Chain A
C-alpha cells in the first residue's frame, strides 16, 4: 500500500518497466498446439484416431485369431463374446480381419501421404520459387498428369505389378502429389514477395536457405493440414479400388475388400458389411476433423 507521503515521489524506473512484453513467449507451434487442444471436436477425433491406430497396429498381435485362419465350424456367426464382430463365410474372425484391414488402409494412407508430401513440397517449392518459364513448364506437366483419368493408370499399374499394396500406393501417388505441389507453389509465390524473404536475400542467403528455412517453414501449417486431409483421401481410394475388385486380393484384407466380400450376403448378414464400412467412416471422419481442427488452430480468426 502506498504511503500518503510517497504519493508524489518519482516512481522507480523498475516499476515503469516500459519495454515490457505482453504475452508469454510462445513459439508458433506451441501456440497452435494449445489452440488445438482447446478444440473439443478435434481432440475427440484425435483420441478416436489414436485408438484406431493403436488397435490396428497391436490388435492383430494380441488377437487369438489370425486374419486368414479358416474354420468351417463357425461360418457366418453373429457377433458374440468370442467373435466380437462375428465371422465371415469362411469362419474367419471378422474383428481380427477389420483390425488387419484397418492396418493396411492406414498404412496405404500414411505412406502415400508421406510420398506425396515429399514430392509435392519439393516440386511445388521449386516451381514457386524459381518462377517464370520453369514454373510454367512444371505446372503444365502437372496439368497433363492431372488430366489422365486416375482409374485408367491405377488399373494398368495393377496389371503390371499385381494386385497388392505396393501397386495401390504407386497408383495413388502418380498424381496424388499434384494437389500438394500446387498448394505449396501458391504459398511460396505469396511468401517470396514478403519482406522477410527479400531480407534474407539481401543478407546474402542462397536459394536453398531462403526456400527451406524461410519459405517452406512458413507454409508448414498449410502443408500439415493438407497432409491430414490427404490420408483419408488415400484410404478412401484404396477402399474404393478394393471394393470394385481391383485392389488388394484375398486372403489379405483391407477395409474395402472386407466390404466387397460382404456384399454377396448383404441381405442375410448385414453386420459383415456394417463393421468394415463403419471402420472406414470413423477413420475418415476422425482424420477430417483433425484436419479441420488443425486448420482453425493454424489460422485463428479471432486472434488479435
Chain B
C-alpha cells in the first residue's frame, strides 16, 4: 500500500514521530534521554480500529498521549485529516479536541471523585459551550442510555460504581463531544474478564453506529484481535510490525511478534499443550542505553551479525510492514 494509491486521507497520520523524555540533565556530559517513541509512522483510516500491542515500557501509551498532544512531540509530525497538528498550541487544539478524544486505562482514576456522574458527562459540553443547559441534560440521559447505564445514576458518585460501569461513564463522557477519533489507552486491562467483553462490544457497537476510528492500545493480545482491523506491534519505542489484524496474529513475520503471540497463554488446554512457546532469552536493553542495531537483537532467536550494525528500516511485505533484516 503505497501512499499515492490511497484513495482517501487517513483520519490520523503519524509520521516519524519521536517523543524523548529527559532522564538525566547533563552539564558536562551529554544529557540522557529515554526514547519512549522513536520514529513511528502509522495511519488510522476512517472507521477503522488500529490495535497497538507491546509490553510495558514499549512506548505505546506515550504514543497515544503524544498523538493527543498531552505530551509535546520531540520530532516528527501528526496529521488530523490532513491538517498538521504537531505544532498547534493548546488554544488552537481546543476545537480539534471535539474530534479527537481519549479513553483512559484506570476507571478508578480517570473520573473526578468529587463530581457526580451527571457532572462528569456534562463537563465536556460545558467546556465547549455546547447546547443550552436543558439540552445538555437531555444529552447526558441519551449518553447514559447509549452506554447501558440508568437515568437515576446521574446523581451518583464514581466510587459507587464498579470498574466496568465507571469505564462506561468514561466512554459516555468522551462521546459527549461527538469525536471521530478516539485513543483507547488500555481501557480494559483494569477490568474483570467477564466485563472486558462488555466494554469491547460497547466500543464496537459505537463504531458501527457512528463510524468512529479507534487507536486501541493494549497488552492483552486476545482482546485486541477481537476489536482491531489492523495491529501494530511495538518494541522499545519502535514499531516492528504493522498489518491486517488476522494476518499479524496468525502469521507473524517479525520474530518479536512471533514470540509475543506464542507467549500469550491460550485459554484452551489442548491447544495449550500442543502449542510451542518461543522462550525469549537475553535481557531487555536499558532504554537509556539502546543498542545501535535492531532494538530486539539482544533477545532475538534469529539475530545475525548485520542486526547489530544498524537499525532495520520498515519494509513492505505484501500488505504488511516489518522492520527486520530478514525481510530486507
Contact = CB atoms under 8 A, between A and B. Distances in A.
Q: Do chains A and B touch in the complex (CB under 8 A)?
A: yes
Interface of A: 19, 21-23, 25-28, 194-196, 198-205, 209, 213-214, 217-218, 220
Given A21-B161, A202-B101, A204-B97, A195 B109 contact: yes
A214 B68 contact: no
Most chain A CB atoms below 10 A, which of B65, B98, B124, B128:
B124
Given A25-B157, A194-B109, A204-B124, A199 B170 contact: yes
B102 A199 contact: yes
Interface string B83-121: 000000000011001100110111001111110100000
Given A195-B106, A204-B127, A19 B149 contact: yes
Contact of A202 (B70, B106, B113, B157): B70
Task: Give chain B's interface secondary structure class.
Answer: loop
4 nearest interchain CB pairs? A195-B110, A204-B97, A195-B104, A195-B109
A203 B109 contact: no
A148 B261 CA distance: 63
14 contacts: A21-B161, A194-B109, A195-B105, A195-B109, A196-B109, A196-B111, A198-B110, A199-B104, A199-B170, A203-B124, A204-B98, A204-B127, A218-B113, A218-B114
Given A202-B70, A217-B112, A19 B165 contact: yes
Contacts of B97: 202-204
Contacts, number: 77
B173 A203 contact: yes
A25 B160 contact: yes
A200 B170 CA distance: 11
A203 to B, nearest CB: 4
Contacts of B204: none
Contacts of B111: 196, 199
Nearest to B176: A203
B24 interface: no
Interface in B125-176: 127-128, 148-150, 153, 155-157, 160-161, 165, 170, 173
B108 to A, nearest CB: 9
Contact of B127 (A28, A195, A209): A209
A200 B119 CA distance: 12
A213 B120 CA distance: 11
B48 to A, nearest CB: 21
Nearest to A209: B127
B177 interface: yes
Nearest to B170: A199
Nearest to A214: B112
A43 B273 CA distance: 64
